[in-house]
Amino acid sequence: MKQTEIATFAGGCFWCMVKPFDQLPGIHAVVSGYSGGHVIDPSYEDVKSGDSGHYEVVQITFDPALFPYKQLLDLYWPQIDPTDDGGQFQDRGESYRTAIFYHNEQQRQLAEESKREVEQSGRFKKPIVTKILPSAPFYPAEDYHQDFYKKNPKEYKEDRAQSGRDEFIEENWK
């Protein structure tokens, strides 16, 4: 029987965080949702208002033998602006901040190590503000948010193009 683990990443709008991880060998599921707040079972409106304290996150179920956690981290960092503590790209507010939620001590250590690597890379002039936090209850987002890039490809492409995310990635991570 295959062993799976969970990884949880906040990288701004969860619509843009699913596709990079989806459909890779060893990735079993990528679910958009909310974590890190104080409201039980929040709605999208609760989270977007900023009153619930939640981050928009993706929770990834993966087989570490096929896709190690370190490889997930290596894929996570180039999806974000780790120097922006006010949100990501066009999406502003607390729910769009970046964070890595670790689920065990090994994940914490690997996340801290990967953050140090980004800090020491000299890639950014501003400080790295992405938080490394203990896992918190995860609440799946509403169905219409799941696999948004597949269900609404035109809207996804337009939103992503307007966000400035791709230009940032190209400029800072390539």
Q: How far apart are CA 102 and CA 83, in angstroms?
A: 20
Strands 98-102 and 131-134, bridge-based pairing: parallel
Strands 27-35 and 5-11, bridge-based pairing: unpaired
- Joined tokens for residue 151: 């269900």
For this structure, is 13 an active site residue? yes
Q: How far apart are CA 105 and CA 166, in angstroms?
A: 32
Catalytic residue among 7, 10, 13, 73: 13
DSSP H or E segment with residue 7: strand 5-11
DSSP H or E segment with residue 87: strand 87-88
Q: Which residues are catalytic?
A: 13
